[in-house]
Structure 1
Amino acid sequence: MPSDELYSRNKLIDYVDIRPIDIEICDVTLRDGEQTPGVAFTKEEKMDLATELDNIGIEVIEAGFPVVSSSEKETVKSISNMGLNAKICCLSRSITTDVDAALDCDVDIVSVFIAMSDLHLRYKYHKSCHDVVACAMHTIEYAKDHGLKVRFAAEDATRTDVALLQKVFKEAEKYNVEYVSIADTIGILNPSTTYYLVSKIKETVKTDVCIHCHDDLGLATANTLAAAEAGAKQLHTTVNGIGERAGNAALEELLVALRVQYGLERYDTTGLNRLSRKLENYSGLTTPVNKAIVGKNAFTHESGIHVMAILEEPRTYELFSPEMVGGERNLIVGKHTGMKALKGIIKDMGCNLEHDELCALIDRIKSCTEVKRGISRSRLKEIILELKEHEGQQ
């Protein structure tokens, strides 16, 4: 299928003068994704996932949090030394010993974070904002003096006073940090407030802005796109949207949305389904069947009207082709399947049935207990053979 037929571009975007100009993806599956309750990747699994992310074209991979354990530190170092095209990042509290751990891991970027919201200052740190910020700036200076690129991240930024965020980000800019990062730690943003907040930060700082969205309201991907439209450069994701609580912005959703909505085609999306299946296997987390892009039902059709149109031209009921994301189309026979659709499916399977045979087949299907969950093509072939055998015995 030609490239221009792999998906239907959102032409309405031509009437809206807001679109991402200069972006990069930082995938945080190996760190934030692993903070999903019950999930722990082995070193080999992390290295395999990192390879897949690199093959897709992800620019930055956050490999872990080295001070968590000696094995985590070893894993982060192993990923740093794999020779990937992606830059490798790791997390660091505002403590110089965390930066030392990052240096031992040979990472390219260290993400130094603090929280400045009233809630976190009062109940987590039990310190003043002045003291917390001073620790952060000291740690940033230490990291820069040791040759690391630095991302300064404000945890719970979306419940922090905007003027304070602007002030502290401006202070971090004096230390020549490469990024300032807005973390929507509890997923409180919506696209409008995301756009506003990123715009306000960009009014104050010239440093590249990152956005890190959680999915507590199911808005993480939408908010990440809004941030990109407002000028955020680095967009954070996880595979299958895994992460703490409701998870993070899903990598597969973001990459396909960037392609369909804005025509950004530099990422190899054909590996998304393979990566999703690996993530399922390594994490033990089952992907919902209706999950966008990589769910089992993403390219599954049962309704007779839909099936007939799909057989004629797939783009009638598919925004993008399954091939574009390494998926497969699945036409299901079920209670909503009519005679014309069934005939089309049978023909597509390479079978030819007479009218009487089709009538007998659809009667069998409608009365079949399996119809509640849909009948696969392999099962449909079995039913056809059973009917033919029955006819032959008469």
Structure 2
Amino acid sequence: MNDRQNAFGTDPLHPKLLDTTLRDGEQMAGVALTPDEKVAIAQLLDAIGVPEIEVGVAAMGGEEAVAITTLVNSSLNAELLGWNRARISDLAASFDCGLQRVHISLPVSEVQIAAKFGGDRQRLWQQLEESLTFARDRSQFISVGAEDASRADPEFLLAVAKTAQRLGAQRFRFCDTLGILDPFQMMEQVQPLVDSLDIPVEVHTHDDLGMATANALAGLRAGAKVVDVTVNGIGERAGNAALEEVVVAMRRLQDWDFGIDSRQLLQLSQAVQQFTHPGPLPPWKAIVGENVFTHESGIHADGILKNPQTYEPFPPQWLGTQHQIGIGKHSGRRAIAACLERHQLSLTPTSPHYQQSLLDAVRVRATQLKRGLGADEVLALASASPPS
């Protein structure tokens, strides 16, 4: 590993996760978590070792404020962070809920400044100073986030970051709000912030171009110390970097596990899916999808049965699960034989006609049903086609 990779394990400010499922994740269209559901998700995040949770937007009031207050009083090990606009009223709402750690967000791109501040940069500087001054006397920790940083003028972005640092911010969040960067651009934009600031840089990525996880890892490569994630990658529009993807990718690629118990990721994923979306996750979803360790293709199944490393990028034991051999249109004789053997039947090598006829029957049936076959269905076909 190079020096930057080694730093993951030796730097006292080694990278850590901030989970924003309860804030940015819940902003996914159609999602509305109850206070009890927010508490349940926070407890699961806490149980697997997530060190910091962004709990929501207290300024919304109502049940959102109730949920945040409940979380503050829940004796979680994770540090809790409240999201705020650069407004004293937002921050006051966070403090009223008992939060001691706050995040202040403000727009930094021309298009966002025009939309939210009428193009008045002086107003931006004023609200940044007022909100930081107000928060500084009432909180234990303040982070400042640059909304739409990936479209901001680099010199202006750096000026905002340095001003935030001077005024008491203890961390600076770089937001690829529209998910428009690729990993190379991510490194190019984050590196100058890392080199110029004395406070840690945090990266917040979106998946509009399908690169949220890759960009999150690129931000860490550039020296960021905190990476924002959501369970299952839920969030605005196409979502955010997925917690499970970032955790497993960093463990596989950089030998860094964030202190997360990955064996509980499947349970966490399923719980969040139940609370946020009717129906199951896509079976091909990275890390937590049903098909991640399911192998049907004859070549793949044969390889897995001989040595799992042939077609598995990381061991299923990381997730507390095991691989499965699916039976379907693309299966080969080895997979069908293994299925029969598990049920004390034999696909004998001395009966090639039987082997081929059963394989043909499996493929025809799977095509008719447009799905894989269960063990009972395979056994039924085997019984209907006795060895000749």
- Which residue is 2:18 aligned to? 26
Is the Cα–Cα contact under 8 Å of residues 102 and 139 in structure 2 kept in the other structure? Answer: no
In the alignment, structure 1 residue 281 sits paired with structure 2 residue 279: no
Summarize the Cα distance change of 1:349–1:57 in structure 2 as closer, same or farther, 3 Å threshold. Answer: farther
- Which residue is 2:237 aligned to? 245
Q: Secondary structure at the match of 1:344?
A: helix
- Which residue is 2:361 aligned to? 364
Is the Cα–Cα contact under 8 Å of residues 325 and 335 in structure 2 kept in the other structure? Answer: no
User: Which AA in structure 2 matches 1:188?
Assistant: I
Q: CA deviation at 1:138?
A: 1.0
Following the alignment from structure 2 to structure 1, what is the Cα–Cα distance between the partners of residues 345 and 57? 56
- Which residue is 1:333 aligned to? 327
Q: Secondary structure at the match of 2:22?
A: coil
- Which residue is 1:272 aligned to? 265
Summarize the Cα distance change of 1:312–1:287 in structure 2 as closer, same or farther, 3 Å threshold. Answer: same
Following the alignment from structure 1 to structure 2, what is the Cα–Cα distance between the partners of residues 133 and 346? 71
- Which residue is 2:222 aligned to? 230
> For 1:110-125, what aligned pairs fall within 5 Å after superposition?
110-125=102-117
Summarize the Cα distance change of 1:345–1:17 in structure 2 as closer, same or farther, 3 Å threshold. Answer: farther
Q: CA deviation at 1:269?
A: 0.5
Is the Cα–Cα contact under 8 Å of residues 116 and 129 in structure 1 kept in the other structure? Answer: no
In the alignment, structure 1 residue 375 sits paired with structure 2 residue 373: yes
Cα deviations across residues 60-106 of structure 1 (Å, max 9, x unaligned)? 10111111132100101111211111100111111111111111222
Following the alignment from structure 1 to structure 2, what is the Cα–Cα distance between the partners of residues 247 and 300? 26
Following the alignment from structure 1 to structure 2, what is the Cα–Cα distance between the partners of residues 315 and 345? 20
Summarize the Cα distance change of 1:109–1:305 in structure 2 as closer, same or farther, 3 Å threshold. Answer: same
Q: Out of 28, 48, 53, which is 2:40 matched to?
A: 48
Is the Cα–Cα contact under 8 Å of residues 64 and 76 in structure 1 kept in the other structure? Answer: yes
Q: Which ranges in structure 2 are unaligned for 5 or more consecutive residues? A: 9-13
Q: CA deviation at 1:304?
A: 1.0
- Which residue is 1:216 aligned to? 208
Q: Secondary structure at the match of 1:113?
A: strand
> For 1:81-230, what aligned pairs fall within 5 Å after superposition?
81-230=73-222
Following the alignment from structure 1 to structure 2, what is the Cα–Cα distance between the partners of residues 52 and 378? 36
Q: CA deviation at 1:348?
A: 4.1
Is the Cα–Cα contact under 8 Å of residues 335 and 371 in structure 1 kept in the other structure? Answer: no
User: Which AA in structure 1 matches 2:215?
Assistant: N
Is the Cα–Cα contact under 8 Å of residues 114 and 133 in structure 1 kept in the other structure? Answer: no
Structure ranking higher on relative contact order (CA contacts 8 Å, 6+ apart) = 1
Q: Out of 303, 315, 322, which is 1:321 matched to?
A: 315
- Which residue is 2:11 aligned to? none
Cα deviations across residues 317-339 of structure 1 (Å, max 9, x unaligned)? 11112221234422111222222
Mean CA deviation greater in 228-237 or 369-378? 369-378
Q: CA deviation at 1:386?
A: 5.2
Q: Which ranges in structure 1 are unaligned for 5 or more consecutive residues? A: 1-13
Mean CA deviation greater in 331-340 or 243-252? 331-340
Q: Secondary structure at the match of 1:35?
A: coil
RMSD value over aligned CA atoms? 2.0
Following the alignment from structure 1 to structure 2, what is the Cα–Cα distance between the partners of residues 197 and 357? 62
Q: CA deviation at 1:148?
A: 3.3
Q: Out of 24, 28, 39, which is 1:36 matched to?
A: 28
Cα deviations across residues 328-368 of structure 1 (Å, max 9, x unaligned)? 42211122222233213322454334436544432321321
Following the alignment from structure 1 to structure 2, what is the Cα–Cα distance between the partners of residues 382 and 85? 52
Mean CA deviation greater in 28-37 or 322-331? 322-331
Cα deviations across residues 92-132 of structure 1 (Å, max 9, x unaligned)? 11111111111122224211010021101112321411211
Following the alignment from structure 1 to structure 2, what is the Cα–Cα distance between the partners of residues 148 and 141? 13
Q: Secondary structure at the match of 1:183?
A: strand
Is the Cα–Cα contact under 8 Å of residues 332 and 377 in structure 1 kept in the other structure? Answer: no
Q: CA deviation at 1:301?
A: 0.7
Q: Give the alignment's TM-score, normalised by structure 2.
A: 0.91
Following the alignment from structure 1 to structure 2, what is the Cα–Cα distance between the partners of residues 348 and 312? 16
Cα deviations across residues 27-85 of structure 1 (Å, max 9, x unaligned)? 10111011100011111111111111111111110111111132100101111211111
Q: CA deviation at 1:225?
A: 0.4
Is the Cα–Cα contact under 8 Å of residues 180 and 210 in structure 1 kept in the other structure? Answer: yes
- Which residue is 1:77 aligned to? 69
